[in-house]
Amino acid sequence: MTPELKERIDHLVQQNKIVVFMKGSKLMPQCGFSNNTVQILNTLGVPFETVDVLEDYEIRQGIKEYSNWPTIPQVYVDGQFVGGSDILIELYQQGELQQMVEVALAS
């Protein structure tokens, strides 16, 4: 990964309390896993940003290296990598995601 790409991703992760690197946008998810992620965050009623990896091949490949996670979507809360769709579902069902985002949004 180039230093420029790492800087771009760092900026996206640090400038947004909750950011999802996904296929499509929060208004138009382009895969089921991305849609699940958007639905969970919408259910929590929290503000979040999305980055469409389909529009930017560098980000699509770079984010996998950045997080050392092979799949999309990828969720970051308060600058920390949380995981993908399956992990988000699990955290949501256990009530941990709500707490995590509340702490992030309060800071």
pLDDT digit string (tens) for 30-89? 999 999 999 999 999 999 999 999 999 999 999 999 999 999 999 999 999 999 999 999
Neighbouring CB atoms inside 10 A of 41's CB total 22
Domain for residue 89, yes or no?
yes
Residue 15 has pLDDT above 90, yes or no: yes
Tell me the pTM.
0.95
Residue 2 has pLDDT above 90, yes or no: yes
- In whole angstroms, what is the distance from residue 97 CA to residue 89 CA? 9
What does the DSSP 8-state code read for residue 55?
G
Domain for residue 107, yes or no?
no
> The domain containing residue 81 runs over which residues?
3-102
Domain count for the chain, please give it.
Answer: 1
CATH code of residue 76? 3.40.30.10
What does the DSSP 8-state code read for residue 17?
S
Residue 107 has pLDDT above 90, yes or no: no
Domain for residue 54, yes or no?
yes
pLDDT of residue 13: 97
Residues in the chain: 107
Domain for residue 8, yes or no?
yes
